[in-house]
A and B are shown apart, each in its own frame.
Chain A
Amino acid sequence: MFDHLIHIHQQFKQRIIGIELQRFKNVVTKPGILRYEIEAYNEYLLLTNSFALPIGTRIISDTNSLEVLTSQNGLEGLEEFSGLVAIELPANTQEYPNIEFIQIVKE
């Protein structure tokens, strides 16, 4: 297993993006609510637990989009989102996970 924080620091250094703050951010989903929006302007949210999301979950942002498919469910890589981030759980879901991100505020 690779270390998320080392990977983040290496990649942001490659991209010449200074980090002002890194911290964890959770989105707690609740029964009956399928859509959540988070503002992540001038910052990055890196999804760390895509394996815990129900198949069919979609995360749409200004810079990246993800749909959790069967084949992607086991992936360990980090997905990065920025801008307005919308999380859509599938309509027929019985699972309401905590969605975990590492929040990076850039300099």
Chain B
Amino acid sequence: MAAIRYNIIRLQVERPGQIVRFQHKIPSNLKRCTGFKAVHVRGVQTDLYIPEIGWFTASFNSLKEEAIVTPVSAQAFYEPEVTHEFQTLDVELLRGQLVVGVYVDTMKSNAFAPYIVSLYLRCTEILSSPLTQESLPKKEFTELVHKLQETTDESIWKEDFEEEELTSEEINPDQLCSIT
């Protein structure tokens, strides 16, 4: 099994509306990035969840592939981190190329305090796409659904479909770990 490596791009935001630029070189042994997560690390003290304190944009392979535009949220101080999920990404990496991007702060200036955000990139040494690997079972599933559609009532089919969606979390590659 190939190793998964996490690249972390950490940025400090010091004034409201600041635009922070970054460039990062991913180690050349990594062949594909399969997920990303943008998080507020520390600094923003809030009683309520803030859905957006700013957003990241990033391109891969030295500006050849624009792949990420994502907001960063801030959790209320009394709530622990609620999710460890990565968002799916599917970028084949060229050797030694740059990840380039910016972070734009969008917080209200009256509530601003300096803070730190991170962009985590989940990359692997395997070249083949996890999406193509998943496509075969999906196709089989679609065929099964078509057969069910022919023989059963539509409402029953919808219920079955929802159940299948839930159980597919077990094989979700974006689930870093579960919270119990």
Contacts and interface: CB of A to CB of B under 8 A. Distances in A.
Contacts of A16: 64
Contacts of A11: 63
A3 B19 CA distance: 27
Interface residues of A, number: 14
Nearest to B59: A63
Nearest to A14: B62
Tell me the interface secondary structure of chain A in the complex: mixed
Binding site secondary structure of chain B? strand
Contact of B17 (A14, A15, A58, A66): A58
B59 to A, nearest CB: 7
B89 interface: no
Contacts of B64: 15-17
B28 to A, nearest CB: 18
A65 B66 CA distance: 14
Contacts of A67: 17-19
Contact of B19 (A14, A62, A63, A65): A65
Interface residues of B, number: 12
B47 to A, nearest CB: 28
A16 B65 CA distance: 10
A64 interface: yes
Interface string A60-85: 10111111000000000000001000
B17 A65 contact: no
Nearest to A12: B63
Q: Which 8 pairs show the lowest CB-CB distances between chains A and B?
A: A65-B19, A65-B102, A65-B104, A15-B64, A67-B19, A15-B63, A63-B66, A62-B69
